[in-house]
């Protein structure tokens, strides 16, 4: 089993690593769980608790795509106990201070309705501004998604919202991995098939990211203004998306009704045409029989009998010479 150790005891090992994974987010979003899934073992302590579990930045080691890698388990930035936030900033900065090749794993915990929450957006924005995070070295994890929500449609929609919320350029790849709520169904998070699938997707996203050395440029800001701005931005995005969904539904309903009406008209026309065809056949049959009788009993040769019928879209004729 890997063991986490305080950073002060690991400088030599950390400096020897080729890659650093730094998992950031807020308290209670599942960062430690994600780190343990990456490591494939219960290395860092994680549990359900009203207050934060991780208080100091820890490190453990693994191999990613053949590279010796240090995995940092850092405290969340924002948490219930406001007095801890200043210390959290210091601990987060420690993870960025040493290893030059860093991939950043940003953990968002979606709400009960499956929506991105403003605190996560505000924290990501604060760390981007403080460390000038590069987009090519960033991977997002949408954690604790309820299984019934975790559909391709939900993932596509949430990725679109995320891109808008964090102002991600359209021409830049956005690496997003969705992590279902494993605890809700009592899954063993280290042997469960879905967990292993998530880990595979996450590791693929990490290996396609481009490591970069992020240097702290300024203090990490945690003002409530940032949360309010993020909330306003998310409200606008979700309202616009709901309006678009409503308009799309109305257009689909209108199209469906028009298709139904055209189908009804086509069906009526088909019945009418069939009736006209049947009537034409009957008329022609009667005319043919009458002509044949006239030819047979008309008392002489050289008689010419003709008949025709025309109605609607149908027209036909015939002639007999005796």
pLDDT score for 176 = 97
Q: Which residues pair with 310 in a beta bridge?
A: 315
Identify whether the C-beta of residue 101 lies closer than 8 Å to the C-beta of residue 211: yes
Residue 52 binned pLDDT confidence (cut-offs 50, 70, 90): very low
* Same domain for 210 and 90: yes
Same domain, 171 and 231: no
pLDDT confidence of residue 111? 76
Domain end call among 222, 244, 266: 222
Rounded to 5°, angle at Cα 131 from 158 and 200: 45
pLDDT (tens digit per residue) in 94-111 = 999 878 899 999 999 987
Q: By percentage, how much of the chain surpasses pLDDT 90?
A: 38
Residues 273 and 147 in one domain: no
Q: What is the pLDDT of residues 107-161, one digit of tens each?
A: 999 877 889 999 999 999 999 999 999 999 999 999 989 888 889 999 999 999 9
Q: Is the pLDDT of residue 241 over 80?
A: yes
Q: Is the pTM of this model over 0.85?
A: no
Q: Which residue segment(s) compose the domain that 231 sits in?
A: 223-322
Q: 178 and 229, same structural domain?
A: no
209/283 same-domain check? no
Residue corresponding to tokens 């090992």: 13
For the chain, what percent of residues have pLDDT higher than 70?
81
Q: Are strands 5-6 and 58-64 parallel, antiparallel or unpaired?
A: antiparallel
**Tokens representing 250?**
């109305």
User: Which of 170, 194, 222 is the last residue in one of the domains?
Assistant: 222
Q: Give pLDDT, residue 49.
A: 38
State yes or no: pLDDT of 68 exceeds 90: yes
Orientation of helix 31-39 relative to helix 193-208, angle to 10°: 90
pLDDT at residue 132, as a whole number: 94
Co-location of 149 and 256 in the same domain: no
Last residue in a domain, options 222, 241, 259: 222
Q: Does residue 287 share a domain with residue 152? A: no
Label residue 61 by pLDDT band (50, 70, 90).
very high
Same-domain status, 205 and 245: no
pLDDT (tens digit per residue) in 172-183? 999 999 998 766
Distance of CA 154 to the CA centre of its chain: 5
- The string of pLDDT tens digits covering residues 207-238 is 999 999 999 999 998 888 888 888 898 899 88
Q: What is the CATH number of the domain that holds 24?
A: 3.40.50.300
Q: What residues form DSSP beta bridges with 7? A: none
Residue 4 pLDDT > 60, yes or no?
Answer: no
Half-sphere exposure of 215 (CA within 13 A, CB side): 1
Please enumerate in sequence order all residues whose Cβ is within 8 A of that of 277, keeping only pairs 6 or more positions apart, or say none. 314
Predicted local confidence at residue 48, as pLDDT: 41
Query: What's the average model confidence in pLDDT over 173-197?
Result: 80
Question: Per-residue pLDDT tens for 280-320?
Answer: 778 777 777 777 776 665 555 555 555 555 655 555 555 55
* 18 & 120 share domain: yes
Tell me the pLDDT band of 51, cut-offs 50, 70 and 90.
very low
Q: Do 31 and 158 lie in a common domain?
A: yes
Confidence of residue 42 (pLDDT cuts 50, 70, 90): confident
How would you classify the pairing of strands 102-109 and 19-24?
Answer: parallel
Residues 117 and 257 both lie in one domain: no
The verdict on 206 and 295 lying in the same domain is no
What pLDDT is stored for residue 1 in this prediction?
45
Domains of the chain: total:
2
């Amino acid at each position: 089993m890997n063991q986490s150790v305080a950073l002060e005891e690991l400088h030599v090992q950390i400096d020897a690593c080729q890659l650093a994974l730094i998992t950031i987010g807020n308290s209670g979003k599942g960062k430690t769980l994600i780190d343990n899934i990456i490591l494939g073992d219960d290395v860092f302590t994680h549990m359900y608790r009203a207050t934060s579990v991780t208080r100091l930045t820890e490190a453990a080691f693994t191999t990613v795509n053949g590279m010796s890698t240090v995995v940092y388990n850092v405290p969340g930035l924002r948490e219930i106990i406001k007095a801890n936030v200043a210390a959290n900033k210091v601990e987060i900065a420690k993870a960025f201070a040493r290893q030059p090749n860093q991939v950043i794993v940003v953990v968002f915990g979606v709400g009960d309705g499956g929506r991105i929450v403003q605190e996560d957006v505000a924290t990501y924005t604060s760390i981007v501004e403080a460390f000038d995070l590069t987009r090519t070295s960033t991977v997002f994890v949408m954690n604790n998604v309820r299984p019934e929500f975790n559909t391709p449609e939900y993932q596509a929609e949430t990725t679109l919202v995320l891109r808008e919320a964090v102002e991600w350029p359209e021409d830049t790849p956005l690496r997003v991995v969705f992590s279902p709520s494993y605890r809700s169904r009592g899954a063993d998070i280290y042997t469960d098939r879905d967990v292993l699938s998530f880990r595979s997707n996450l590791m693929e996203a990490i290996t396609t990211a481009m490591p970069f050395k992020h240097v702290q440029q300024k203090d990490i800001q945690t003002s409530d203004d940032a949360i309010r701005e993020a909330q306003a931005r998310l409200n606008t995005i979700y309202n616009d998306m709901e309006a678009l969904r409503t308009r799309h539904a109305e257009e689909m309903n209108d199209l469906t009704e028009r298709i139904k009406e055209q189908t009804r008209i086509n069906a009526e026309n088909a019945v009418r045409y069939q009736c006209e065809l049947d009537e034409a056949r009957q008329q022609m049959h009667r005319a043919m029989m009458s002509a044949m009788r006239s030819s047979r009993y008309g008392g002489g040769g050289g008689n010419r009998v003709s008949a025709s019928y025309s109605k609607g879209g149908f027209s036909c004729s015939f002639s007999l010479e005796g």
